[in-house]
Amino acid sequence: MTEFAVTNASTGEVEQTFDSLPAQQIPEIIERAHLAVGPWRDTPIAQRAQALAKVGDLFEQRAEELAGIIGREMGKLKSEGLQEVQLVASIFRWYAEHGPDVLEPTELQPQGAQKTIVEHEPLGVLLGIMPWNFPYYQLARFAAPNLLIGNTILMKQAAICPLSAGTFAEILHEAGIPEDAYINLYLDTEDVPAVLEDFRVRGVSLTGSERAGASVAQNAGKNLKKSVLELGGNDPFVVLDTSDLDALVRTAVGLRTSVQGQVCTSPKRIIVVDELYEEFVAKAQEAVEAIRVGAWDDPDADMGPLSSETARDEVVQRIHDAVRNGATLRTGGEKLERPGWFMSPALLTDVDPDSDLGCNELFGPAVIVYRAEDEEDALRLANHTDYGLQASVWTEDLERGERFARRMQAGMVHVNEHLVTQAGLPFGGIGRSGYGRELAEWGLKEFTNEKLVRVSAQSF
């Protein structure tokens, strides 16, 4: 049985609990979403877009409240929570403004007919399974495009974020999206297969762990359901050259410790060419040790608590295991003896690229720096991964950067930026990072029936 509760990450206190959905009610709820497909699909797209634009307005109006909810639930600093709320508003507005044009029928060459087009029609009921690290953004990334298309949504959010999940649904309904077109589910994990087995559910999108992704993909495949998976990454951040190493180090450390390092696209492997390595590490240690750790609403804090006690303890344990296996812990990486799920940010070097931390995602505030002999060695290290979500290269020579970026193996590659997500940019990875794309026009066509329509004169 999944426990849905708001446990304040800054204090460790349980503030509110929620009952999970009884399994016997699942068919009835799926039926509600199924019956809502027709009316919602037949609602003029301009009206659906208007509802999405209203969602954006409501998120901005309730920004302080919304940031406070996720601050308590999973420890996100207030400033970062406000940024997330603004990102969500921009996503709903982007689809409201641009989505209808993207969904216009695509005209093809007639190819022997009078007319040949492809229509982008909704599939029907979809299931979303989302994580806790961006409680609103992850929901918006899936919900906004699919609601505009005319799909209806059953949404399972992480168990530690029940209040934000319910508030998200409340805002959508207030904006004019029918209650049965978007249903928030406090669904037990063990009941997910039953939802996917139902013929009325046509697809599933999951953002989360590889284990969860593999399980959902297996169930989706067995039941012939379309799936999209975003499963994290071990993203490289390659430093080739700079004339301002201080600023670059501050940027790298700040990006890695943002949201306590609990970001799929966080730069988890910082790869620095040999001539800059020693100075980079020294400055990185100063930057890491200067980070102020505090509660989500502490205005002086640079980093908050981790999302849960289990999450914090796992990160600390894996750092200690890495040290026992030969890594060098320059600073931090310890549990802080205070209420809540706090730890000191860490800086590690000498991590074996084939070790646990070298190969697998570490979801926590650990800056890991690797030495590369030269540019080619940096590329080799960057591509030495089974993941492929986001990657970046940093250089003042933009042509050099673009050449390097084109050789990096990832779903999203950036020159002189990292941890970038915008409504108009596709998001997704390759390899162990999953498959499929969200956001922008790509997010509009993952769960559509791309229906060919040909009109020919009657001729015998």
Concatenated DSSP letters of 426-453: -B--SGGGEE--BSHHHHHSTTEEEEEE
Helix residue ranges, H only, 236-374? 245-257, 274-289, 309-324, 356-359
The b-or-e profile of 5-28 (16+ CB within 10 A means b, else e) is bbbbbbbeeeeeeeebbeeeebee
> How much of the chain is helix, strand and coil, in % rounded to 5?
45, 20, 35
Which conformational region is residue 72 in: left (phi greater than 0), alpha (psi within -120 to 50 degrees), or beta?
alpha
**Residues β-bridged to residue 106:** 118
What are the phi and psi torsion angles at 208 (to 5°)?
170, -150
Closest CA to 30 of 169, 127, 148: 127
The CA angle 229-233-234, to the nearest 5 degrees, is 165
**Residues β-bridged to residue 273:** 372
Catalytic residue among 73, 80, 84, 230: 230
Closest CA to 81 of 42, 33, 135, 29: 135
* H-helix or E-strand spanning residue 269: strand 269-273
Residue 230 appears among annotated catalytic residues = yes
Active-site residue set: 230
